[in-house]
Amino acid sequence: VANQIAAGEVIQRPASVVKELVENAVDAGASSISVNLKDAGRTLIQVIDNGCGMSVTDARMAFERHSTSKISKAQDLFAIQTMGFRGEALASIAAIAEVTLKTRRKEDEVGTQVDINGSEVKSQEPVSCPPGCNFQVKNLFFNVPARRKFLKSNSAELKHAINELMRIAIARPNIHFTLLHNGTDIFNLVETNVKQRIVALFGKAINQNLIPIQTETSIVNIKGFLGKPEAARKTFGEQFFFVNGRYMRHPYFHKAITESYASVLPPETIPSYFIFFESNPECIDINIHPTKTEIKFEDERSVFQILLASTREALGKHNMVPSLDFDTKGIIDIPVFDKTREAHNPEIELQSGFNPFREDYERPTAGSDFQNYQRTRLPEWEELYKGMKDISGPVSSVQTDTHADPGAGRFLQIKNRYIITPVKSGLIIVDQRRAHEKILFEKFMESINRQKGLSQKELYPTTLELNASDHTVLMEILDDLLDLGFDIRDLGNNAIVINGCPADAILSEPKEVIDCLLEEYKQFQSDVKVKAKEKVAISLARAACIGYNKPLTDLEMRELIDNLFACSNPGQTPLGKPVFTILSMEDIEKKLS
């Protein structure tokens, strides 16, 4: 019972088993580690390495609680240099699963096999096996049904396992990693350097967006890569801190990174970074949380300042920020005048016959480039305000107001973001992006429910490489994407080919649509309040809708408004945000009284 209680803290899901076994393989000095999963780890988790292996006695003792060969005295806890040190992982795994271990040291002729079921040793016998360790963990949580019941879907659990392995693989580019799921290769990472390992995991496109960073101080050494601001994403996924080869989460240091990007980062985006800290083991504390991802530094303020300065310097070297002198904010940059150039007074041409109020006046051309340019006449004041005088009576519904007073040419776009048009009750202000998102969402939901969406074939198919985690997400929602009108085929090795897109999503390139779709989907993937099919429709609607800063013609604005009020609930986006607001005549008169 005690082992099961401890296991609940250390082993939370199949990904936790993958993490613990792979970290043990790293500590064993393995140069090749293979992970094989079935049903995302529910049925089988197998980890094979070519490390130092264990003796017959150690193989049995390894499953005892707090049994470890990585520290020998309490003082060692203050200078930890291995991935594991508590001796809890194997005991916890053995308490909630059926475990088989085959292991042999290089100096031994014969290995040993240990079979354990729910902390009970079933057998231990000699076996022929290669040097290293071969762990098989079957039927995880078989004796803890409550924990097994609350595991997520296979695709979600696989994603967690992939993320855990990726964190170790990035920090250990000198180790060959392979991952298989149900007999299919997820990735095969050969020995290489850090940059090529990142490219192998996240795709070739990231290679152009990496900025090197390197700083050496007496407190800490920092090296790694930063992502270019234009490559920033809306969701977390490419943010990694490592200290002495161990992955860590550190919100305080993340703040230093985001502060460095503050002046160049697109709104609501998160920069990518792969930062490696090298510190004296005595100056950090790893023994804080069972997952060992929360790490404290002895002098975090100094490390924060070093990281902040290093990031700004790296961005400055690559011309990513205006200046490294952050004390010159607000100073106008005046260009230097060329002293060798002669100054000329500007020539002014006057046309004595110019009269802008003449009906028959012909506007003169300003040059050959503007000969065909004609500016449309502005509406007359009377026409612009026609129908807006003497408005009285009770305020009625928005749908009635909008369609009851459909004057032509009475749409105004503000900041390329909001559309304003008069209605009988006053003025309606519409958020153009949210309006289009709502329209597309209802169209996409109809396509999913009918399982037949209109598709626009691509003249040239687009091949797209994804990282393993994103590929898993895409495969999870592939059936719904096909119903929407996508024509996508899996090429293997985390690559897909896009032969067609939904007819309503052809405003952008297929690659941009898929990238944005995945980013949007991951933002609320874990939201249990939204149904799975709705998540896909919302994600695609947000990815394909028109953005802000897009000028619209009068006809486009009219069509957008008409389509919006044809929706079942035009007032809110699928996630409940307001699409429009009404400024009534009473409010206008009150403000101007």
Greater confidence (140 vs 367) lies with 140
Co-location of 273 and 309 in the same domain? yes
Residues 14 and 105 in one domain: yes
Is position 214 within any domain? yes
Q: What is the DSSP letter of 420?
A: E
Give the angle 74-80-85 at the CA atoms, nearest 5°: 70
The reply to whether 6 and 141 lie within a common domain is: yes
Distance CA 543, CA 537 (A): 10
Q: How many residues does the chain have?
A: 593
**329/306 Cα distance (integer angstroms):** 22
How is residue 335 annotated by DSSP?
P
Q: How many angstroms separate the CA atoms of 485 and 454, rounded?
A: 5
In this prediction, residues 337-360 reach a mean pLDDT of: 55
State both tokens at 475: 């495969």
What pLDDT, on the 0 to 100 scale, is given for residue 344?
56
Of these ranges, 395-399, 401-405, 544-548, 561-565, the one predicted with the greatest mean pLDDT is: 561-565
Residues 475, 496: one domain? yes
For position 500, which CATH number holds?
3.30.1540.20
Q: Is residue 330 part of a domain?
A: no
Q: At 232, is the pLDDT very low, low, confident or very high (cuts 50, 70, 90)?
A: confident
341 belongs to a structural domain: no
> For residue 523, what are its two tokens?
């933002």
Beta strands of 415-465 (E only): which ranges?
418-423, 426-431, 455-465
**Which one of 170, 189, 208 terminates a domain?**
189
If asked whether residues 467 and 428 sit together in one domain, one would say yes
The whole-number pLDDT of residue 11 equals 86
Beta bridge partners of 79: none
Tell me: the pLDDT tens digits for 469-516?
888 889 888 988 888 888 999 988 888 999 988 877 755 678 888 888
**Residue 402: predicted pLDDT:** 41
136 and 57 both lie in a single domain: yes
| In a shared domain, residues 184 and 198 | no
- Most confidently modeled of 77-91, 296-310, 470-484? 296-310
Specify the pLDDT at position 7.
58
Residue 199 and residue 182 in one domain: no
Residue 362 DSSP symbol = P
Phi/psi for 490 (5° steps) reads -80, 125
215: pLDDT strictly greater than 80: yes
Asked whether residue 369 is assigned to any structural domain, the reply reads no
CA–CA–CA angle 320, 248, 41 (5° rounding): 115
Partners of 124 in beta bridges = 114
Domain housing 289? 194-317
- In whole angstroms, what is the distance from residue 347 CA to residue 213 CA? 52
Q: What share of the chain is helix, strand, coil (3-state, %, to 5)?
A: 35, 25, 40
- The residue from 288, 317, 346 where one domain ends is 317
Q: How many domains does one find in the chain? A: 3
Residue at 304 is within a domain: yes
Do 23 and 146 lie in a common domain? yes
Residue 445 and residue 413 in one domain: yes
Q: Residue 232 in contact with residue 199, Cβ under 8 Å?
A: no
DSSP calls for 528-567: TTS-HHHHHHHHHHHHHS--TT----HHHHHHHHHHHTTS
* Residues sharing a CB contact under 8 Å with residue 250, sequence separation 6 or more, in sequence order: 241, 295
Confidence of residue 382 (pLDDT cuts 50, 70, 90): very low
Residue 353 within a domain: no
Of 88, 98, 121, the C-alpha closest to 44 is 98
pLDDT at 492: 83
Q: Tokens 């078989």 belong to which residue?
A: 142
Per-residue pLDDT at 544: 86
Mean pLDDT rounded to a whole number for the chain: 81
Q: d(Cα 358, Cα 351) in Å, to the nearest integer?
A: 14
Domain finish residue from 133, 166, 189: 189
* pLDDT given for residue 410 in this prediction: 82
Q: Which residues contact 426 (CB under 8 A, 6 or more apart)?
A: 395, 582, 583, 584, 585, 586, 587, 588
State how far the Cα of 136 lies from the Cα of 128, in Å rounded to an integer: 16
pLDDT in tens, 33-59: 999 999 999 999 999 999 999 999 999
The residue ranking higher by pLDDT, 431 or 363, is 431
Asked if residue 175 and residue 226 are part of one domain, the reply reads: no
Q: β-pairing, 176-181 with 184-189? A: antiparallel
pLDDT at residue 287 in the model? 65
- Evaluate whether residue 359 is within a structural domain: no
Give the C-alpha separation, 98 to 115, whole Å. Answer: 8
Higher pLDDT, 268 or 161: 161
Q: How many CB atoms lie within 10 A of CB 226?
A: 25
Q: What is the 3-state secondary structure (H, E, C) of 245-278?
A: CEEEECHHHHHHHHHHCCCCCCCCCECCEEEEEE
- Has residue 105 been placed in a domain? yes
What is the pLDDT at residue 335?
45
pLDDT above 60: residue 96: yes
